[in-house]
Amino acid sequence: MQPNEHLSRQQRTQLLGLAGLIFVILASYAVARPATESLFLEANGARALPMAWIGVGVGSVVVVSLYNRWSASIDLVRLFSIASAISAGVLAITLMALSIEIPGTTWALYLWKDLYIVVLIEIFWSFANSTVPKDRAKWFYGMFCVVGSLGGMAGNLGVGWLASEWSTAESLWAVVPLLTVGGAGGFILARRTGIAADASAKTSSIREGFSVLQKSKALWLLMALIATTQVVITLIDYQFNVAIEQFYPDLDERTAAIGQMYASIDAMAIGLQLGTGPILRLLGVPLVLLAIPGLIGIAVAGYALVPRYAAIAAAKVASKAFDYSLFRAAKEILYIPLSHAERTQGKAFVDMMSYRMAKGATSIMLLGLVSLGQPRAALWLTLGCIGIWVWVTVRLNRSAIDQP
C-alpha cells in the first residue's frame, strides 16, 4: 500500500502536524546539543562526562514518574505542548544563572539537554504509534525521520554561525523560541484534529507503569535491545569527546566542529531515511536490526586499527546516523501491535529510562576503567558490547514479536 492512499483530511492534518513537530524538536536539539556539550567540556573536561551521565540516569527516573502521571489523563499532543513550555522555561532560567556565573550551571545545562529531548521525542513517537496504521508505518516513519533530520541539519549548521556571531552561551537562547513554536504547534494540532484525552483515565504512578513492563515480554526484549544499543553509542561518544577536546582546544571552534560533525550525521541519516521504506520492505525489520550492529562494529574496528580523530568521528557518525534512521524506524514498528498501556506507560520505561539509565551504567564502567588507569580499554569494551547487541537482536528476532 502506498503511503498517500485513502487518507482522510484529519489523517493528513495529523501527519503534516507530526512532521512539523519533529522538525522543530530536532532543530532545537541541534542548537542545544553542541553548545551545551562545548560549554561542559570547557568548564569540566571530558573526564567529568561519566558523572554527568549518572546524573542524567537519576533525572530520568523523576521525568518518567511525571510522564506516567500525566500521560494517562492528558492527550499526548497537549502533553507535548506542556513539556515544551516547561523545557523553554527551565532553559531560560538556567541561562540567566549562567550569565551571572552561578556555580554548577554547566552541569544543569547538560542534564537539561539530555532530559528535555528524550521527553519530547518519546511523546512524539508514542502519538505516532497510536495514529499511524501499521501497514503504512514503514513509509511514514522514514518520512518523519527525514523531516527531523532536515530540522537537525538546519540547527547544526546554524549553531556554528550563532556561536561565532554571538557566543556559545548566547546561542542557546535560540532554543527558547523554537520550543515555544513547537509547544504552540502542539496545541493547534490538537485543536484542529479534535484530539482529546480519555475522560475516564486516571493518573498513573511510576509503580503502575513498571507493572505494565513486568507483564510484557515484548517490552523486556525491547528494553534489552535499546539499553545495549545505547551503551555502545555512549562508549563511542565518550571516546569522541576525549578526541575533540584534544584536537579543538578553543571553545567556539569546538562548538562549530561539533555542529559540523552532527550535520554530517544528519546528512548520512537523511540518505538512510529516504531509503527506509524500501529497505524495510525489502529486507524486513529483523534483518535490518541485525545488520546495524554489524556495520557499526566495522566502524569501531576501523578506529581500533587507525586511532585518529577522523576515525572516531566516522564511528560516531555511523552510530548516530543508524540510530536516527533505520534503527529508530524498525524499533518503533515493533511497538505498533502492542496495547495502549504498553505503547505509552511501558514505552516510557523502555525508551526514556533505558536510553538514559544506559548512560549511567556506561559511566560506572568508564569510571572503573579510569580508576584502573586503563581508559583505552573503552575501545575493547565497545567491541564486546557490540557482540552482546548482536546476541540480543538474534533473541528478539526469534521472539513472538518478529515483524515480516
pLDDT at 344 over 80: no
Domain annotation for the chain: domains and CATH numbers? 9-198+205-398 (1.20.1250.20)
**Which residue in 230, 228, 281, 284 sits closest to 402, CA to CA?**
284
Backbone φ/ψ region at 194: left (φ over 0), alpha (ψ -120 to 50), beta: left
pLDDT for 199: 39
Provide the 3-class DSSP secondary structure of residue 202: coil
pLDDT at 318 over 60: yes
pLDDT for 211: 66
The larger pLDDT score, comparing residue 277 to residue 175, is at: 175
The larger pLDDT score, comparing residue 315 to residue 360, is at: 315
**Which residue in 30, 33, 39 sits closest to 245, CA to CA?**
39
Average pLDDT taken over every residue of the chain: 78
Burial of 289 (0-12, 13-18, 19+ CB in 10 A): buried
266 confidence band (pLDDT: 50, 70, 90) = confident
> Which uninterrupted H or E stretch holds 107?
helix 105-131
Q: Are 156 and 260 in contact (CB under 8 A)?
A: yes
In this structure, of 13-17, 70-74, 186-190, 399-403, the range with the lowest mean pLDDT score is 399-403
Q: Give CA–CA dist 52/41, Å, rounded.
A: 11
The larger pLDDT score, comparing residue 51 to residue 93, is at: 93
Q: Are 55 and 107 in contact (CB under 8 A)?
A: yes
Cell 550563532 -> residue: 162
**Type of residue found at 68:** N
**375-398: per-residue pLDDT in tens?**
677 788 889 999 999 998 888 777
Q: 208 is written with which cell numbers?
A: 503502575
pLDDT at 90 over 90: yes
Average pLDDT over residues 79-92: 89
Q: Give CA–CA dist 38/68, Å, rounded.
A: 32
pLDDT for 403: 43
pLDDT at 373 over 80: no
**91-101: per-residue pLDDT in tens?**
999 999 998 98
pTM metric for this prediction: 0.66
Torsion of CA 331, 333, 337, 339, to 10 degrees: 60
